[in-house]
Amino acid sequence: MAGDTVLVRGGNYDERVTFSKSGTAGSKIIFKPYQVENVIIAKGFIIHSNYIRLEHFEVTPGETGLSSDQCQVTIEGDYNEIDTLNIHNTELDLRSALRINSGHNNTISNISLTYTGGFSSDEYSSNNTIKGGTIAYSGGKSIVLYGMGQIIDGLTIHDPGQAASPFDDADCMNIHGSGHIIRNNHIYNIFSTAASQHTDIIQWWDGVSDLTFENNTIGSFAVGGPFNEHDGGNFIMIEGNCPRITWKNNVFMGDNYFLFNIHPANLPDGSDWVFVNNTVYHKGGIRDNPNLRNWKIENNIFLFPIYFANASTFSIKNNLYIEGATKSTFDVNSIESASANFINPDISAATGYGRNADWRLQPSSPAINAGVLDSNTPPNDKDENLRNVGVP
């Protein structure tokens, strides 16, 4: 009943657990292992109730597995919490290992999904948070978001598509719906595991709006791959309406084809984007579309020139173009320089092909005090230090 704490003795339980009793806002029902004993629920669990808290559970196959339409963990209630969930070494197929169906305001912290499925939410779910942990070596996509207001915060995500299916992309994220926030994530090694797979880091195709991407480090170079070798797909593959998308304080790097590959026909509305204070260490450029309007592109560092058919409707200013990249005629108060003077822009094996490089600026960087401060500029930099006025 509400307020109870249930202690589970250690062991491997070859069963699927269903939670159907609810707690209350002030008195959750808590389930956790007895002392520090390890509890394995071989077939996972499903939460039909509200105000449940689960702590420190492991899910991995026992003698028998799940049916083809089941996820290892499914949440179908509201205001539930899961802290420290380890799902691993299940059958590598295209299912999600962790899924929210018609659930709202759930929080899942400190997850580890390895050699299993990824995370997904359905179109009827909203305001759920996934915070902290790892999603790695997923059978299919790492994350598939539907619904409204989902938050993906502080994850390390890499190497999806391990099932090597010719019927599914090996993307990191497919995004649908609106109001989602993707922040503080480290995303790398998003490369095809089979020749037939299409692989983008982020993709949407049926309409999204009001998304925010902030403080993410996105991409890596293929092992030994130079610029323009294109061992990955696109950073972001875009089809369908997508108004009001915000990108701030992100680092993009890699051999991918385009930063934004914007479908030439299937994009009736791509208006009112904000792209500020990002570092783009990538030479693939942006695939333009005539339906882009009213973008704000300010305080960024680019390794390639940017050109847009409707640039006269854009605010493009105070950017830094490095290593031979040139600014456009619509660029105001921007700078061209041989280097940004990053602290350590190494993309060799020593930094994991860039994923552990240091993209912060040295004091001598031409980007310092060369930006513009406005309502879209984050007050803090990626290290959460107070940003000097105008630092990209």
Q: What pLDDT does residue 94 have?
A: 74
Q: What pLDDT does residue 194 have?
A: 65
Euclidean distance between CA atoms 287 and 302, whole angstroms: 15
Burial class (CB in 10 A: 0-12, 13-18, 19+), 160: buried
Mean pLDDT computed over every residue of the chain? 89
Q: What pLDDT does residue 382 have?
A: 64
Condensed to tens digits (0 to 9), the pLDDT of residues 198-256 reads 788 999 988 899 999 999 999 888 766 656 555 568 899 998 899 999 999 999 998 78
Q: What pLDDT does residue 270 have?
A: 87
Residues of the chain with pLDDT under 50: 389-392
In single-letter form, the type of residue at position 365 comes to: S
Q: What pLDDT does residue 192 have?
A: 73
Residue 324 CB partners (closer than 8 Å, separation 6+): none
Q: What pLDDT does residue 387 have?
A: 56
Q: What pLDDT does residue 65 have?
A: 63
